[in-house]
Amino acid sequence: MKRLRKVKILATLGPASSEEGMIRKLHEAGADLFRINMSHTNHEMLRTLVTRIRAVESQCGRPIGILADLQGPKLRVGKFADGAVELKAGQSFTLDGKDVPGDSNRVYLPHPEILESVKPGDRLLIDDGRLQLKAEKCDGKSIVCVVVNGNKISDRKGVSLPDTILHTGAMTEKDHKDLEAVLAINDVDWVALSFIQRPEDLAEVRKITRGRVALMSKIEKPQALERIDEIIELSDALMVARGDLGVEMPIESVPGTQKHLIRLCRRAGKPVVVATQMLESMISAAVPTRAEVSDVATAVFEGADAVMLSAESAAGDYPVEAVAMMGAIARSIERDQNYPGIIYAQRPQPEPTGADAISLASRQIAETLNLAAIVCYTSSGTTGLRSARERPQVPIIALSPVIQTARRLSVVWGLHCVVTEDATDLDDMVDRACRIAFREELAKPGDRVIISAGVPLGTPGSTNMLRIAYIGSDGLTGH
């Protein structure tokens, strides 16, 4: 199943897309990997969805990635005696630790970590910023605020803290249980961590996972931007989660932040996913707005590895159409005459290592000689990531004997992943690469491909060899 685009599509599963038949339709329409949102999925349903995705993978013969997205700390106020109150700008309002119904003067905040961390001058945004409070007095047990923008506040509304670093981990008790369930299944490739603020949040999870899943950090709090280089270094991938990010920082600064994060990830050679409201109107409409098309196009132009559908595919009326539309936009942009100049202007300098030099050389040779494809053998996935980091014009075929590696690489820009046995020697390596390039319809007889691998064969992270090979007249033999 050859994709005629480089950027990948991550589709969220939900009530509209949980059946095996629909999952297959989404995959055939263009979804390269699937997201399971643990905010709305119990452990039994998690196991069911993973089983169904793997059944589709078996039917289609293509590695499919699975991302389990942990909920993270959902901060909410308590309940009100009358269900809701109206707060006016300038009035005083208190959040405290008293578990009694609230009124127009105060409300219960069942999060002692907030009461202990907020300082005078910090902002508290309620209900996605519809109500803004500013802390004036804090004693660790209550926060006396002034209402900046008045509005109604009702039971269990969410609280955002754009100015406050909470000195607790990003993992809640629910997240720990969900992560244990994910690891027990042993068939999930990625775990997304919500509301990351510090690199320590990642270190905590790494101790638990021990490499059994790859970690994707969701950037949705401005505090994370202050230590973003450390967070990227400890992450296997990043997600630009623009929904909460747009609540906690000025919404007009989100596009610039998105571009900045994409470029940092490209420089580091880490996959980056752009998410939230990309085709939001397709939840209830068969076609997106022009602005949404431009939004997806911007992410593609910038060289993001993947773009994500949330409610569009999980609960919308047109899940298959949304995936197909996202694919159509990506294909159109990648054929645009401006695309090569934009994508290559941001190409990072290679690291001073032999493997990076090999990846750079393979891209330059492929483009100079107009080769049909770059074929890279990758056991751990590192060679595949390095090849994609170069953003070559030609297709990249990533061959791996490890199906878990191929599944993880399904989120990476430009990689056409194929699971195959490891080559036994150099001749077998060349023959196998040519056969697969022909079989996957990425090269035809008479074409040439360039092959990168590590010698001795099967040694992870040892990419040190390049070989140009012809596709034979029978389409099967390399010469």
Is residue 391 flagged as an active site residue? no
For residue 172, pLDDT beyond 80: yes
Q: Report the share of the chain in percent with pLDDT over 70.
A: 97
pLDDT band per the 50, 70, 90 thresholds, residue 462: low
Q: Which is catalytic among the residues 5, 6, 24, 35?
A: 35
- For each of the domains in the chain, give its residue range(s) and CATH number, in order of start: 8-72+169-345 (3.20.20.60), 84-160 (2.40.33.10), 354-470 (3.40.1380.20)
pLDDT bin (cut points 50, 70, 90) of residue 478 is low
pLDDT band for position 476 (cuts 50, 70, 90) = low
Q: What is the pLDDT of residue 461?
A: 61
| pLDDT computed for residue 99 by the predictor | 95
Answer whether residue 394 shows pLDDT above 80: yes
Q: Which of 76, 263, 331, 467 is catalytic?
A: 76
At 458 the pLDDT is 64
Is 76 assigned a catalytic role?
A: yes
Entry pTM: 0.93
Catalytic residue among 276, 378, 382, 383: 276
Q: Is the pLDDT of residue 479 over 60?
A: no
Residue 25 known to be catalytic: no
Per residue in 254-267, pLDDT tens? 999 999 999 999 99
pLDDT, averaged across the chain: 94
Amino acid of residue 471: I
pLDDT of residue 352: 84
Query: What pLDDT, in 10s, does the model give residues 261-292?
Result: 999 999 999 999 999 999 999 999 999 999 99
User: Confidence class of residue 342 from pLDDT cuts 50, 70 and 90?
Assistant: very high
Which position among 218, 266, 270, 407 bears the catalytic label? Answer: 218
State mean pLDDT over 403-409: 97
432 labelled catalytic: no
Instruction: Answer yes or no: are the C-beta atoms of 374 and 417 closer than 8 Å.
Output: no
Instruction: Reply yes or no on whether the pLDDT at 426 is more than 90.
Output: no
Give the torsion sign (CA, 407, 412, 418, 420). Answer: negative
Q: pLDDT tens digit string along 436-445?
A: 999 999 999 9
Other CB atoms within 10 Å distance of the CB of residue 443: 26
